[in-house]
Amino acid sequence: MNDIVEIEWWRLVAAYAFLVIVLIITWKQGIGREKEIFISALRMTVQLLVMGYVLVAVFDINHFLLSLGVLGLMELFAIYNVYQRIKVKISRKLKTVIAFSMLLGTGLPILYFLIVVINIEPWWEAQYLIPIAGMLIGNSMTGIALGAERLVNGMRAQKDTVEGALMLGATPYIASRPVVNGAFNAATMPVINSMMGMGIVFLPGMMTGQILSGVSPLVAIEYQIAIMLGLLGSVSLTVFTLMHFGYKTFFNQDAQLVDMD
Amino acid sequence: MFVLENIKYKNILDISELVIPQGKVTCLVGESGSGKTTLLKHLNKMISPDEGKINYRDKDIGSFNPVDLRREVIMLPQNPVIFPGSIRENLLTGLNFAEKSIPGDEELYDVLKSLKLNKGLEEDAAVLSGGEKQRLAICRIMLMLPEVLLLDEPTSALDDETEEIAIKEVISKVRMNGKTVVLVTHSAEIAERFGEIIIKIRDGQVVNRKEAKLNHE
């Protein structure tokens, strides 16, 4: 394979032509989102630059505690982000379940992926741990935010049905199963859909990045298949854990629906 | 069957004493918002009182497992809950929830016919009218035949003739099997005709309790 072509700084600046075109179009059309687009592009640039320098330092130091610290920060940021993304009011108990689900649902697949699938020594090698954890945590974060919102909205919208089932002698688990299953499907649908179109409709970012940096497409595909299966496992386990414990937060010890307002 | 003592719930209920006997039809009457439905929900632990004590079968209702209790004391809400699926699935939902044995098609058709619901078992329950859904929900609990039936205005969407048929059918089946009914109604006429005990509720309080002479069976 050819060595990677490094992008000269002024050519990178030239890429901002896309941003300028979008800003002009939105301004001319009176869409009124120029400020938001500009700020998001600026944030992306600054965040990635900072991350680039941080990663260089972390990879150089490559210490167990540092890798674990970065992983912890990613988890914390992801949990905070989930709370921010959910537009409906959620209880403190459900927040705790979300945090627990993120830690369990991403932690186990990350360890499994590094130790069993990639089989690197040591497993906390920063160059592998951080990007892989980033992908798994990021996708699980999106899934759990979607799942939690659907769960809360579903329990509110179907309160009468859930209560009607309880009145007929259903357990809280049975009574809330339609809502729980609907939320689980909604949360895992994006990762399932992306697997469907992968390789035909689009080439995923990680694989594209590897190919651009000179890795054989076959090696890149191996990684991509593994990471997609890891994502499926991580998102599903995270959302499953959320649903398994989350529905219980809507009931008290007498199997009564708690006030959701 | 139920003995309520000094029950208080928010600003909705304030009942010093109330006895609901076993094997009888007890009617709760009163205006909308008087607390009838809230009282009914206390009897199968869908709501727990802030203060006071409810005994069921001489035991504190708090000591019962709520799910086990609700399999004995079934409540039919005013707006019937129809689950997605066919009429058959809806008829069997309660039995499935309560993990009871499933009857054959003949019995299912019989119960539908008894309430003048001439529909096929595989028809989609979602397309039924409001009155038909209410009758389907009544059929569902008739199949369950629990120890106690809590009926919250179960015939509000039915015309007078169908209402009479529905209530008669339910009550005759319950009486035949020695079960207990607590019926919430805003209709004094229904209460007089079918109730053996009539309890009048106003502003969350019991203002009158009388044993009625039945004109009809």
What is the complex's ipTM, to 2 decimals? 0.90
Closest residue by Cα to residue A91 from A255, A254, A246? A246
For A168, the closest of B45, B74, B84 (CB atoms) is B74
The per-residue pLDDT for A3 is: 64
Lowest mean pLDDT among A227-231, B81-85, B186-190: B186-190
Q: Do residues A73 and A175 share a domain?
A: yes
Q: Do residues A86 and A98 share a domain?
A: yes
For B98, the closest of A163, A169, A255 (CB atoms) is A169
**Is the CB of A181 inside 8 Å of chain B's CB atoms?**
no
Instruction: Give residue A162's identity as a one-letter amino acid code.
Output: V
Residue pair B99/A197 in contact (Cβ under 8 Å)? The answer is: no
Q: Do residues A215 and A242 share a domain?
A: yes
B24 exposed, middle or buried (CB, 10 Å; 0-12, 13-18, 19+)?
A: middle
Pairwise CA distance, residues B167 & B158, whole Å: 11
Indicate the residue among A19, A37, A61 that finishes a domain. A61
A92 within domain boundaries: yes
A4 within domain boundaries: yes
Q: Do residues A226 and A240 share a domain?
A: yes
Pairwise CA distance, residues A63 & A126, whole Å: 8
- What average pLDDT score do residues A80-95 get? 91
Indicate the residue among A37, A61, A85 that finishes a domain. A61
Question: A108 vs A78, A112, A136, B134, CA distance in Å?
Answer: 16, 6, 11, 49
Indicate the residue among A61, A96, A113 that finishes a domain. A61
A241 within domain boundaries: yes
CA angle B171, B139, B55 (to 5 degrees): 55
pLDDT band at B214 (very low <50, low <70, confident <90, very high): low
Q: Do residues A134 and A216 share a domain?
A: yes
Instruction: Give residue B193's identity as a one-letter amino acid code.
Output: R
The reply to whether residue A169 touches residue B67, judged by beta carbons under 8 angstroms, is yes
Q: Which of B70, B78, B142, B151 to mutate to test the interface with A (most CBs of A within 10 A)?
A: B70
Lowest mean pLDDT among A93-97, A168-172, A201-205, B204-208: A201-205
pLDDT band at A68 (very low <50, low <70, confident <90, very high): very high
Statement: residue B193 has pLDDT above 80: yes
**Is the CB of A197 inside 8 Å of chain B's CB atoms?**
no
**Is the CB of B207 inside 8 Å of chain A's CB atoms?**
no
Strand B25-29 and strand B180-185: pairing? Answer: parallel
Count of domains in chain A? 2
Contacts of B186 (CB under 8 A, 6+ apart): B29, B30, B31, B32, B153
Q: Do residues A96 and A166 share a domain?
A: yes
Residue A192 structural domain: 62-250
- CB < 8 Å & 24+ apart, contacts of A83-89: A85/A145, A85/A149, A86/A145, A86/A148, A86/A149, A86/A152, A87/A149, A88/A149, A88/A152, A88/A153, A88/A156, A89/A152
**Cβ neighbours of B68 (radius 10 Å):** 11
Residues of B in contact with A258 (CB under 8 A): none
A260 within domain boundaries: no
A228 within domain boundaries: yes
The per-residue pLDDT for B217 is: 46
Tell me the pLDDT tens digit for each residue of B125-169: 999 988 899 999 999 999 998 999 999 988 877 777 788 888 888
Statement: residue B213 has pLDDT above 70: no
A259 within domain boundaries: no
The residue of chain B with its CA nearest to that of A164 is B81
The per-residue pLDDT for B188 is: 82
Q: Do residues A220 and A94 share a domain?
A: yes
Q: Which of A254, A257, A258 to mutate to test the interface with B (most CBs of B within 10 A)?
A: A254
Q: Do residues A147 and A198 share a domain?
A: yes
Tell me the pLDDT tens digit for each residue of B72-115: 999 999 888 999 999 999 999 999 998 888 999 999 999 999 88
Q: Which of B97, B133, B184 to mutate to test the interface with A (most CBs of A within 10 A)?
A: B97
For B97, the closest of A170, A254, A255 (CB atoms) is A170
Residues of B in contact with A255 (CB under 8 A): 45, 66-67, 70
Q: Do residues A101 and A72 share a domain?
A: yes
A257 within domain boundaries: no
Tell me the pLDDT tens digit for each residue of B26-75: 999 988 888 999 999 999 999 999 999 999 999 999 999 999 999 999 99
Smallest CA–CA separation between A235 and chain B, in Å? Answer: 28
Q: Do residues A74 and A44 share a domain?
A: no
Contacts of B117 (CB under 8 A, 6+ apart): B132, B135, B136, B139
A156 within domain boundaries: yes
- What average pLDDT score do residues A120-137 get? 92
Statement: residue A26 has pLDDT above 80: yes
Q: Which of B9, B40, B44, B46 to mutate to test the interface with A (most CBs of A within 10 A)?
A: B46
**Is the CB of B45 inside 8 Å of chain A's CB atoms?**
yes
Q: Do residues A197 and A91 share a domain?
A: yes
- What average pLDDT score do residues B15-20 get? 91
For B74, the closest of A169, A254, A255 (CB atoms) is A169
- What average pLDDT score do residues A247-259 get? 93
Residue B6 dihedral angles phi and psi, to the nearest 5°: 50, 50
Q: Do residues A43 and A114 share a domain?
A: no
Residue pair B136/B90 in contact (Cβ under 8 Å)? The answer is: yes
The residue of chain B with its CA nearest to that of A256 is B46
The reply to whether residue B77 touches residue A163, judged by beta carbons under 8 angstroms, is yes
Tell me the pLDDT tens digit for each residue of A27-37: 999 988 899 99
